[in-house]
Structure 1
Amino acid sequence: MALCVAPDKTREEGETETDTRSFPPPPTAAPGSQRTRNNRLIHQRCNGKKNRFQDFAAFLRSRTSPDSGGAEALNAGLGVLDVAGGKGQLALELAVNGICATVLDPALFPLSEFKSKELLTHCCRLAADLRPTPDDTAQRERRRLYGSISVWIHPSILSDAGRAPQIKDLLLAEHAVPLYIHRRLFDESFVGGSCAESARLWSECSVVLGLHPDQATEPLVRHCLAAKKPFAVMPCCVFPNENPHRLTATGKPVRSLDEFIEYLLGLDTSGQMIKEDLDSIPGCNTVLHYRLEHVGKSAHDGA
């Protein structure tokens, strides 16, 4: 039996055939669900970053002298040295709790507007209750040496005419806020004492801190171990291409953070360096600390 095939419909010249078949629409997520998840993750990361300074400071106080909240021991000598402290958020957290902290960084980054307001509020409280103390002379001299604390305030806050009374209180009470910056790199020249103030700061600081200090991480660990100086550091970036000398136990180049942490632990031949994870801090949260129980004591006490 012959098949009868219907001829195609005639089309004008240049006209293309369109597919008229119907397909089900692609599945779509509930409106806003992906955005909500993304916002939640961003919120968690931001909160974790903000809280890491508080958590790290609390960890430091708990490991030095818990009975006094760590303040007495940490304030020994010239106080805490915060290497590669950036915007000074860790140092600020310590300073507003009465712990002397000096940021060691070649560049000065003003605090955020939020943190600037926090510092202003703290200074206003101090100005309201300001009383002469025996330490006033030394505090004022050190403030003169390291410069006004107003350099930490965000430019938009400083230029706000409505905050003039607060700025006045800040300048009045700034000597009582133990927050300083020494604009130097943490390198051989700093430790070697090419500058008198650097030499004094290195020899008389109570403890050396590094919260994600980047390239300064390994020099910090090496110099503190050599001087038997207490430290606490939270490594972050590895920079493997810039440090080909770092090798794992199997002789391979150190490339991951875990390998870097093991490499740093291997630098301590005394076995006194301790590794701890701060679960309250997201991301890179491993702390390596050394002789924190000796903070405020002689470098060779208990050696």
Structure 2
Amino acid sequence: WSRRGACLHGRRCVFEHSPPGEVGGPAGEEVAKTGKALFSGLGRAGVFRRWLLSEFGAEELSRGVGVLDVAGGKGELSFELLNLNGVPCTVVDPRDLALSDFEDKFRLGRYSSNRWLHQSLSSSYWEAFREGRAPQAPGHLRTFFDHRLLEKLSPACADAPAEPSGRGPGDVEAAPDGTHEEAPRILAECSAVVGMHLDGAAEAAVDFALRFDKPFAIVPCCVCSRDFPRRTLPDAKTGLPRLVRSYGNLLEYLLRKDVRIRRARLDFEGKNEVLYLPPSELRRHAGVAESTSDGEAAAGEGASDGDGGTW
């Protein structure tokens, strides 16, 4: 429990599970002494989900067609958001979803085996669990998420930088194709773009979100420097461009794309830095832009007034 944020014994466990990090608890003492992350990598989807609910909110995440989960792999994050919080999700990944383990956890009540977990569960979860309803599967677009996909699906994405990658030019088409007629609508109407350890799709996810004013939260992982030879940062000493090679370089490179992008650390082991642009920041920026536009329009009307009275 103290490492994963979940107990595999479910309701049969005879032990009390204190909230992680609670003062006086074993996990809290360990974190205080070692500074290590509270959860192992096995619990990272739950950590990220709870963070998204805290920072973005279930209502915000449920707007439109819901969350776009880039390079979502087996589909664990999307499965949890959909079945534990009622947030619609679509996984974008060429691989098959593998939901059986998560479905078993759902049926056995392991997502609600401790009272501390209840605060991050919605009423829809409790209704489904008590009635014995089967969990739902998230949507799935079976394709790679990169700049070429964005160009293919929307002419408006054509101005995005088409970064070369290590895959061959036919790989997007060769992947099991889930980019059916619904794909453009899903991308256009998604509430937010998220991604956990999304490898080479990290930059495309950020670029897409910024281009279409979508909130986003991604947890980058692999740098993939050989696949992206055009990624550079100015050298601190010489000012000359240098290749993005390290994890720190990648975070800096992505942060430089927009001054509004924020950075936080999630409480699990491994690559745990999240870069995000919350809905509140987008609304604030839109409000400023609207006020500026209204002011300019009013100024224009005044300037065109024949009697000059406005000025």
Q: TM-score, with normalisation over the residues of structure 1? A: 0.61
Counterpart-to-counterpart distance in 1, 2:247 and 2:129: 45
Residue of structure 2 equivalent to 1:204: 189
* Structure 2 spans left out of the alignment, 5+ residues: 1-35, 110-124, 155-179, 236-240, 290-311
**What is the total number of aligned residue pairs between the two structures?**
207
Tell me the distance in 2 between the aligned counterparts of 1:294 and 1:79: 19
The answer to whether the aligner puts 1:258 opposite 2:260 as a matched pair is no
Equivalent residue, structure 2, for 1:76: 63
Who is 1:249 aligned against?
A: 234
Q: Secondary structure, in 3 states, of the residue corresponding to 1:53?
A: helix
Which residue of 2 is the match for residue 291 of structure 1?
278
Task: Decide whether aligned partners of structure 1 residues 84 and 46 sit closer, same or farther in structure 2, where only a CA change above 3 A counts.
Answer: farther
Residue aligned with 1:82, SS = strand
User: Among 121, 126, 142, which residue is 1:183 paired with?
Assistant: 142
Map Cα deviations across residues 196-226 of structure 1 (whole Å, 9 max, x no partner).
Answer: 3111001111000011001101111112111
* Secondary structure at the counterpart of residue 241 of structure 1: coil
Q: Does 1:103 align with 2:91?
A: yes
How do 1:78-93 residues align onto structure 2 when only pairs under 5 Å count?
78-93=65-80
- What is the SS of the residue equivalent to 2:51? helix
Q: How far 1:104 sits from its partner (Å)? A: 0.9
TM-superposed CA distance for 1:241, in Å, is: 1.2
Conserved? CA contact 1:101–1:178, under 8 Å: no
- CA deviations 1:26-84 (Å, max 9, x no partner) are xxxxxxxxxxxxxxxxxx999512221111111111112xxxxx221111100111000
The ranges of structure 1 where at least 4 consecutive aligned residues each deviate by more than 4 angstroms after the TM superposition are 44-47, 121-125, 297-303
Q: Which SS does the other structure have where 2:207 is aligned? A: helix
**Cα distance between partner residues in 2 of 1:266 and 1:205:** 24
Q: Distance in 1 between matches of 2:61 and 2:285?
A: 14
1:147-162 aligned within 5 A: none
Distance in 1 between residues matched to 2:61 and 2:186, nearest whole Å: 14
Deviation of 1:237 after TM superposition, in Å, equals 0.1
- Say if 1:209 and 1:232, in contact at 8 Å, map to a contact too: yes
Question: Is it true that 1:237 corresponds to 2:222 in the alignment?
Answer: yes
Could you tell me which residue of structure 2 aligns to residue 126 of structure 1? 128
Larger radius of gyration: 1
TM-score of the aligned structures, taking structure 2 as reference length? 0.59
Q: Does 1:281 align with 2:255?
A: no
Give CA-to-partner distance per residue, 1:98-147, whole Å, 9 cap, x none: 1111111111131353x230244579962864xxxxxxxxxxxxxxxxxx
Equivalent AA in structure 2 for residue 199 of structure 1? P
1:243 to partner: Cα distance:
1.1
User: 1:187 deviation in Å?
Assistant: 2.8
CA RMSD of aligned residues (A): 2.9
- Which amino acid is 1:111 matched to? L
Q: Which runs of 5+ in 1 are unaligned?
A: 1-43, 65-69, 130-165
Hey, what's the Cα distance between the residues in 1 that align with 2:127 and 2:45? Answer: 22
Determine the structure 2 residue equivalent to 1:54.
46
CA 1:91–1:201 in structure 2 vs 1: closer, same or farther (change >3 Å)?
same
Distance, in Å, in 1 between the alignment partners of 2:137 and 2:205 is 23
For the residues of structure 2 that align with 1:100 and 1:302, how far apart are their CA atoms?
A: 30
Task: For 1:232 and 1:182, locate their aligned partners in 2 and report how far apart those are by CA, in whole Å.
Answer: 19
Counterpart CA distance in 1 for 2:225 and 2:80 is 32
Contact 2:107 2:129 in 1 (8 A): no
CA–CA separation in structure 2 for the residues paired with 1:58 and 1:50: 15
Deviations 1:138-185 (A, max 9, x none): xxxxxxxxxxxxxxxxxxxxxxxxxxxx8xx53xxx6xx362212122
Task: Return the alpha-carbon distance in structure 2 between the equivalents of residues 50 and 78 of structure 1.
Answer: 28
Q: Which amino acid aligns with 1:187?
A: D
